[in-house]
Amino acid sequence: MEDIYVQAIQEIEDTGKLLLMTRQLLCAKQKERNKLALFSMEKILSEWPDSIYPKNKVAEILTYMKNHEQEEWNHSQIMNDLLEDIQNVLKTHEHFMLGYLYQAFAYMIQNEQQDIQKNNNDEDLEYEELDTIYCACMIYKYEDESADENARKQREADFWIWYLETLAQIQGTTLLRDIHFQPKTEVVDFSLISTVEQLVKAISYEFDYLSHEVKDDMITIQVFNLKNGAYCPTCHQFSNRVKFDYGGIMKLGKIKGISIRLYIKNNVYFCDNKACEEESFMCQSKVDYKERMANYKQMVKTLGNKRVLEILQIK
C-alpha cells in the first residue's frame, strides 16, 4: 500500500492530477469510495454559487445522505426529485458545473445500485468521468470564476492532495511527506485585451478570429479551431491536409441582455502516415470546453461587461 501512495504523491506533484487507475489501486472498496464521494461533495458546498443552483438544496441532499444508509439512496424520492429538478434547470441554464453536479449525485446512486447487484464484488469504473469524486474535483477547480489558468490548476492539485490525505486517514495510513505542486503556465493578462482578435485568443490560443455579427440581440463570433493542422491522435503525425470542415455553436452567456456565442469551425484532416490505421481524424483540442468557458468568465470579470461589449463594437 505504501508503494501506491508514493506513486500517487509523485503523480500529483508531476501533473497536478490523480488518474482513475491510481485511485482504483488506492481505494478498491466500494464503501470507502462512497464515503470519499460524500466527503468530496461536502467539500465543494462552501463555494458553490447560488446563481447556478440553490446551495440550500444541495446541502439538504447531503444532509439526507449522511443521515441515511447508502442502500436507501437509490430508493429515495428526495434523491429522484433532486435529479429531476437539476435536469429541468439544465434545460434552460446550460452550465457545465451544474452538469457535473447532476453527474456526481447520479453516479453515487448508480454505484450503490451496482454494489448491491455485484454483491460487493467491486469492478473498475470504465471511464474517468463516471466517478463522483472526479466530478467534484472539476466543480472545485472551476468554482472560483475569477481564477486564472494557474490558479485553476492549483485548485485541481489541491483537491487531489486533500483526497489523498483524507483517504490515508480513512485507511489508517500516514503519508510519508508533504505534497507540493507548482503550476508553470504563462497566463494571459486579460486587462490588456483591446481587440476582438485578442478576445478570441484569450478564450483559446487555438482559435483564430474570422468575423462577428450582431443580429436581434445576439452576437455571433466566428472562429476557426486549429485551422493550420493538427496531430493524428493514433500515430501522432502532423497533418494540414484537409478532408472537410464542420462547425458548431458554443454559448458563452448574456451581457446586458445580449447573448454571446461562438461559431467554431473545425477541420477533419487526412492522416498521411501509410502505417497508421486512421485515414482521417478530427482535431483534439488541448483547450477543452471547460477551459474555454472559464477563460471567458475570467475575462469578463477582469474587463467588466461594458468593456467587453465595447471590444465587440456594441455601444
pLDDT tens readout for residues 180-218: 999 888 888 899 999 999 999 999 999 999 999 999 899
Instruction: Give the span between the Cα atoms of 28 and 7, in whole angstroms.
Output: 16
pLDDT tens readout for residues 212-239: 999 989 999 999 999 999 999 999 999 9
pLDDT of residue 188: 82
Total count of residues recorded for the chain: 315
Distances (CA, A) of 60 to 57, 66, 79, 213: 5, 10, 10, 44
- Please tell me the least confidently modeled range out of 63-77, 90-104, 132-146, 275-289: 63-77
For residue 251, report the phi and psi dihedrals to the nearest 5 degrees. -80, 130
| Paired sense of beta strands 280-282 and 218-225, if any | unpaired
Cα end-to-end distance, the chain, whole Å: 62
Q: How many Cβ atoms are within 10 Å of 174's Cβ, its own excluded?
A: 8
pLDDT of residue 119: 37
pLDDT of residue 123: 40
Comparison of pLDDT for 114 and 82, the residue scoring more: 82
Which pLDDT band holds residue 274 (cuts at 50, 70, 90)? very high
Q: What is the CA radius of gyration of the chain?
A: 22
Which pLDDT band holds residue 109 (cuts at 50, 70, 90)? confident
Instruction: Give the span between the Cα atoms of 35 and 170, in whole angstroms.
Output: 9
